[in-house]
Structure 1
Amino acid sequence: MGSVSAGFFDFLNFGGDSHSNSNVVEDGQYCTADEVAAYIKEFHKLPSNYITKSEARNLGWQGGPLKNYAPGKSIGGDTFTNRQHVLPDSDSKYIECDINANGTNRGAERIVYNSGNYKVYYTADHYNTFKEI
Structure 2
Amino acid sequence: MKTCTFINAAVLAVTLSAAIQASAALKTCEDEIKETNTFLSEQGAAPINDVTDLATTLRNIKNFGHLPDRYITTDEAKRLGWSGKETETLWGLKPTNKKWIGGDSYANPALPAKQLWLSADIDVQKGYRSPKRVIYSLSGQQRFITTDKYQHLAELEPCQ
Task: Give the CA deviation at 1:8.
Answer: 3.8
Closer, same or farther in 2 for the Cα pair 1:71/1:46, shift >3 Å? same
Aligned residues: 108
Structure 1 position 36 matched with structure 2 position 62: no
Residue 52 (structure 1) shift? 0.5
Cα root mean square deviation, aligned: 2.4
Structure ranking higher on relative contact order (CA contacts 8 Å, 6+ apart): 1
Q: Report deviation, 1:33.
A: 2.2
Correspondence 1:74 to 2:123 = no
| Pairing 1:57–2:78 present | yes
Q: Aligned pair 1:122/2:153, yes or no?
A: no
Displaced runs of 4+ in structure 1, greater than 4 A?
10-13
What letter is aligned with 2:127? T
Q: Return 5+ residue gaps in structure 2 as ranges.
A: 1-35
Q: Secondary structure at the match of 1:39?
A: helix
How far off is 1:90 after superposition? 2.8
Q: For residue 110 of structure 1, report the CA deviation from its aligned partner.
A: 0.3
Q: What is the CA-CA distance between 1:130 and the residue it aligns to?
A: 1.5
Give the Cα separation in 1 of the matches to 2:41 and 2:64: 25
Rg comparison, structure with higher value: 2
What TM-score, normalized by structure 2, do the two folds share? 0.59
- Contact 1:77 1:96 (8 Å CA) reproduced: yes
What TM-score, normalized by structure 1, do the two folds share?
0.70
Deviation by residue 1:82-102 (Cα, 9 ceiling, x = unmatched) = 1xx23x223121011100215
Task: State whether residues 74 and 102 of structure 1, in contact with CA within 8 Å, keep that contact through their aligned partners in structure 2.
Answer: no
| 1:129 counterpart letter in structure 2 | H
Task: Give the structure with the larger helix fraction.
Answer: 2
- Cα pair 2:98 2:127 within 8 Å, conserved: no
TM-superposed deviation, 1:115? 2.4
Secondary structure of 1:105 counterpart: coil
SS at match of 2:150: coil
Q: Please state whether the residue corresponding to 2:104 is helix, strand or coil.
A: strand
Q: Please, which runs of 5 or more residues in structure 1 have no aligned partner?
A: 1-5, 14-30
